[in-house]
Structure 1
Amino acid sequence: MKIKLFRKKNVRKLLMQKGDVQLKKTMGAFDLILLGVGAIVGTGIFILPGTVASEHSGPAIVFSFIIAAIVCALAGMCYSEFASAVPVTGSAYTYSYIVFGEVIAWLVGWALLLEYGLATAAVATGWSGYLSSLLAGFNIEIPHAISGPFSPENGTYINLPAIFIVLVIGYLLTLGIKESTRFNTIMVGIKVTVILLFIIVGIFYVEPPNWTPFMPFGMSGVLSGAALVFFAYLGFDAVSSAAEEVKNPQRNMPIGIIGSLFICTLLYVAVSLVLTGMVPYTSLNVSDPVSYAMQLAHQSWIAGIISLGAVVGMMTVILVMMYGGTRLLYAIGRDGLLPKVMSEIHPKYKTPVKNTWIFATMIACCAGFIPLDKLTELVNMGTLIAFTIVSIGIIWLRKNKDITAGGFKVPFYPILPILSFVMCIFLISQLSFHTWIACGIWFLIGLTVYLIYGKWHSVMEK
């Protein structure tokens, strides 16, 4: 039983897969950076800085972002080495299959499905809210009963805009990754322009006394804030899901992952400094803090542009998160752990059309009918678990004789991979007890699915 549960993939066979099971290589380093920025910059920059600053970190939220960025950068280097050495789709799931075996890979994939699915649904819900406020500026009202987070006691029964945007992005993904990256490039350009506009205009309204006290909740507040703003960096790992569709992955994957993290950290720190300088941190617990700050500065026209930027920005997050989820389902289906329909490639579009529609429909149902405010911590848990596995997995990867020399290597080995592992475990410890319980239930369900279906239908079983 032990051998069967922990059977590992052969790297050479994995890299030699051809024909119907291989995706088309169309992306370069710049496409990957834009994919990363598209995934990362969204909810984290338009919503999180206000709520975390007001309740946890105060103006020291910049330190929370930097701590979370350091953890992500360390994990990002580990992802980069894996993506460079084993350029196939599946991200942390496939990497775990190589170094730890099937059952660990399945649990990591199960955790990532939680991340991609809930994160996409949560962002779609936020997108719906920003869209409603943007349309309200043009005196267009969407009925409250069909346009807010599911809450019958508040008179909201379905979130139609959230369902709509998930299905539209799902359709776009079925057309092909090249078409999707073109759309992403345009949207990222608009989003970054709006953020830079806020920073440039906001600097003139900064009042330094608002930064005092800089650390009102102490270091513990900064650390708990780091565990929460970690949500703002979700998505860079989805870049590694593109490995099989990247030209020269040994060079381009590390550039895409580390480059997108660096750019996003600079944007987050700059926005947080300006935001807490413009408005006292105690007044920032609102759903749209960036627009709110501009309204207080009597710059309503810029607040409107920022709402537009938020609507656009969240669309790119939905795109890349859904992309990561569909490629993960594709990899799991190709391995036989889920039904083969998940790994079927459309002959014309060269994308997994069926699994994209299955995934999009499930997310649309979550976004439309489930209140997601209490589930966002679960997203962080799923991601951090994947990060810990990838970080410590580098040590086993280096021992694998089937891996060819060359490509990106994590510097200061083995110190940095171990440090990444420890910091991820620390951030997991900062999450609430209820999150641990919910995550445990999710993993029990996943293990049951594997023992009933995946173990017996696995390609490795044959």
Structure 2
Amino acid sequence: MSTHRIGLGQGTAIYVGAILGAGILALPALAAQVAGPASLLAWLALLLFCVPVATSFAALGARYPDSGGVATFVAKAFGPRASGAVGYWFYFALPAGAPATAYVGGQYVAHTLGGGESMALSVAAVLLLAAFISNTFGLRISGRLQLILVGVLAVLLLIAVLTALPHSDTANLTPFAPHGWGAVGQAASLLFFTFAGWEAVTHLSGEFRDPARDLRRVTMTTLAVIAVLYLGLAMTCVLVLGPDLARTDAPLTLLLQRGTGPAASGVTAVMAMLLTFGTMNSYLAGASRLGAALARDGVLPAPLSKGHLPGEVPRRSLALLFVLSALVCVFALATGTQLGDVMLAASACFIAVTVAGLVAGVRLLPRGSAVWWGAVLAAVVMTVVLAFSGWFLLLPLVLGGVAIGWSTWTAPRRRTAAPPVEPALVAQEAEAAE
């Protein structure tokens, strides 16, 4: 069995990859259309909101390092049935979310290079397959690959910002709020999902060399990297592009054209592929380990549990995710299902996972501490956001019912053959009892 453990560099790369997404390529323009230069306040507000969310999950991961991630936190707070429901929300939402993410990246590449629908689908298929292949080799390979990709991506984003900055004009900041201050809230709502993903990497908490120390360091480093990249890009877009920002579909391409000239389209296409692959790579790493942990705990068929221990590769769980993702792709193409509906359905599940994790944090974290108050605030805000999912809330309700039904049906067999408990959890329980 491999004994590879995540270090600070790889951990930060995986975290950054889970937060960054292809949306950053278009959202500066969409936010500017809604709020003008005041959209910068929306970017800043969401970065500040990320602090209590990220620190809450880091504190929980440090206390309960396990491949179950949020499902483990919920099990500690509310019991195994609630945990199974939360695990199903994340695990079975990924086969919808990953293909949708790949398709968004494919569309951006095709648009940038002047290709059509066939190019978008081809690029999406290659990106999705590459992310699955990367994870079959385990975190030793996928983590190092993620570190390289995020490094290249950060360099490209910095090049875009630094080469365009000489063309900035502070006059582009006026009028600062042309659509009123209420539009800042609308822009924040639009940008919200660009800051999601902290729950996805909790499933890797057991893979760190020293979770209690490393998770906090990685979280703080990721927050700093995200702040520099997001605020730097958003501010440069406003200062350099001015009124043109709200009129373009590809602000990063336009920004690169100002700074680097004709190479802009190719560089933007590369960035779109890196962003898309990085996001899927991080989510698959977490979800595959979650599936193995759910099988270990009797919430999924037992054969899927192989690979649930730290350092192992959960290839069976990963294979099931691949099959389910392929089925979702076939269904979407055959029925003409809209991309927006697929993404909203997956988002309803992912938001529900975040809410469950934060509510578990309210129960498990030291009451009255700063991180506890952060979890309370974040849980309230995220619950309001979840309510706006509308009819798509039926999906987490159905998945939760299936999880509870499976747990009830298999309960007698689990009593006679209790699943093994991870050493990391035993150590945590012993420490808590002292």
Q: Sort the TM-score into its range (normalised by shorter chain).
A: 0.7 to 0.9
- C-alpha contact (below 8 Å) 1:239/1:257 kept by paired residues: no
Q: Deviations over 1:101-124 (max 9, x none)?
A: 223223322332365444422320
Q: Shift in Å at residue 223 of structure 1?
A: 2.1
Q: Report how far residue 425 of structure 1 moved.
A: 2.7
CA contact (8 A) 2:136 2:313 kept: yes
Q: 1:120 aligns with which of 92, 98, 106?
A: 98
Within 2, Cα distance between the matches of 1:87 and 1:428? 26
Distance 1:236 1:129, change over 3 A: same
Q: Matched residues in 2 for 1:282 and 1:378: separation?
A: 33
Aligned counterpart for 2:250 among listed residues 255, 274, 288: 288
Aligned mates of 1:226, 1:107 — CA distance in 2: 29
The question of 1:185 aligning with 2:143 is answered no
Q: Please state if 1:442 is matched with 2:415.
A: no
- Given that 2:237 and 2:245 are in contact with CA atoms closer than 8 Å, whether structure 1 keeps it comes out as no
Seen in structure 2, the aligned counterparts of structure 1 residues 275 and 84 have a Cα distance that, compared at 3 Å, is same
| SS of residue in 2 equivalent to 1:147 | helix
Which among 227, 230, 253 is matched to residue 215 of structure 2?
253
**Aligned residue in 2 for 1:12:** none
Deviates further, 332-341 or 273-282: 273-282
What are the within-5 Å matches in structure 2 for residues 376-391 of structure 1?
Answer: 376-391=343-358
Distance 1:47 1:120, change over 3 A: farther
SS in 1 for 2:339: coil
RMSD, aligned α-carbons: 2.9
Question: What is the deviation of 1:174?
Answer: 0.8
SS of the equivalent of 2:338 reads coil
Q: 1:108 is matched by which residue type in structure 2?
A: V
1:337 alignment partner AA: V
CA 1:447–1:130 in 2, change beyond 3 Å: closer, same or farther?
closer
**Taking structure 1 as reference, are residues 225 and 93 closer, same or farther at Cα in structure 2, changes over 3 Å only?**
farther
Q: Distance in 1 between matches of 2:344 and 2:206?
A: 30
Percent identical:
20
- Measured against aligned partners, the alpha-carbon deviations of 1:368-422 in whole angstroms (never above 9, x if no partner) come to 63432244344444333333332232342247xxxxxxxxx99525432222222
Query: Which residue of structure 2 aligns with residue 421 of structure 1?
Result: 379
Structure 1: which 5+ runs fail to align? Answer: 1-19, 149-158, 400-408
Residues 70-97 of structure 1: CA deviation (Å, up to 9, x unaligned): 2222011111111111111122111101
2:275 to 305, 313, 326: 313
Q: Check conservation: 1:64, 1:222, Cα contact below 8 A.
A: yes
Take 2:69 and 2:35, find their aligned partners in 1: how far apart are those partners? 32
Judge conservation of contact 2:345–2:395 (CA < 8 Å) in 1.
no
1:147 is aligned to 2:147: no
- Mapped to 2, the partners of 1:106 and 1:346 lie a distance apart of 16
Q: Which amino acid aligns with 1:90?
A: G
Contact 2:66–2:205 (CA under 8 A) maintained in structure 1? yes
The residue correspondences of 1:14-33 to structure 2 (distance < 5 A) are 24-33=3-12
Q: Is the 8 A contact 1:336 1:457 kept in 2?
A: yes
The equivalences for 1:69-84 within 5 A come to 69-84=47-62
- 1:454 aligned to which of 403, 407, 411: 407
Counterpart contact for 2:306–2:314, Cα < 8 Å: yes
For 1:404-458, what per-residue CA distance to the aligned partner results, in whole angstroms no more than 9, with x for missing partners?
Answer: xxxxx995254322222223234445x3xxx32112x202321331243232225
1:28 to 1:205, Cα distance in 2 relative to 1, 3 A: same
Match of 1:229 among 187, 191, 199: 191
Which of these residues, 309, 320, 326, is aligned with residue 358 of structure 1? Answer: 320
- Which stretch shifts more, 259-268 or 224-233? 224-233
The match for 2:420 is none
Relative to structure 1, the CA distance from residue 202 to residue 392 in structure 2 (aligned partners, 3 Å threshold; closer, same or farther) is same
Q: How many residues align?
A: 409
1:46 equivalenced with 2:25 (yes/no): yes
How far has the Cα of 1:364 moved from its partner?
Answer: 4.1
**Among 363, 378, 385, which residue is 1:396 paired with?**
363
1:27 is paired with a residue whose SS is coil
Q: More helix per residue: 1 or 2?
A: 2
Change (3 A) 1:283 1:65: closer
Shift of 1:461: 5.2
Structure 1 equivalent of residue 338 of structure 2:
371
Once the two structures are superposed, what CA deviation does each residue of 1:110-160 show, in whole Å capped at 9, x if it has no partner? 332365444422320122123335655xxxx6xx45334xxxxxxxxxx23
Contact 2:293 2:308 in 1 (8 A): no
1:36 correspondence with 2:15: yes
Kindly provide the CA deviation profile for residues 309-350 of structure 1, in whole angstroms up to 9, marking residues without a partner as x.
222222111111121221221221211111223322399x93
Q: Which ranges in structure 2 are unaligned for 5 or more consecutive residues?
A: 417-434
CA distance in structure 2 between the aligned counterparts of 1:423 and 1:164, rounded to whole angstroms: 37
Q: Is the 8 A contact 1:29 1:255 kept in 2?
A: yes
Counterpart residue identity of residue 101, structure 1: G
Q: Give the equivalent residue in structure 2 for 1:152.
A: none
Hey, what does 1:11 align to over in structure 2? Answer: none
Summarize the Cα distance change of 1:453–1:415 in structure 2 as closer, same or farther, 3 Å threshold: closer
> Structure 1 counterpart of 2:38, which letter?
A
Per the alignment, do residues 375 and 145 of structure 1 end up closer, same or farther by CA in structure 2, a change over 3 Å counting? closer
TM-score, with length taken from structure 1: 0.80
Aligned partners of 2:53 and 2:378 also within 8 Å? yes
What is the alpha-carbon distance in structure 1 between the residues aligned to residue 151 and residue 256 of structure 2? 21
CA, structure 1 residues 76+280, in 2 after alignment: closer, same or farther (shift >3 Å)? same
Amino acid at match of 2:158: L
What amino acid does structure 2 have at the position aligned with 1:204? P
Q: Which residue of 2 aligns with 1:405?
A: none
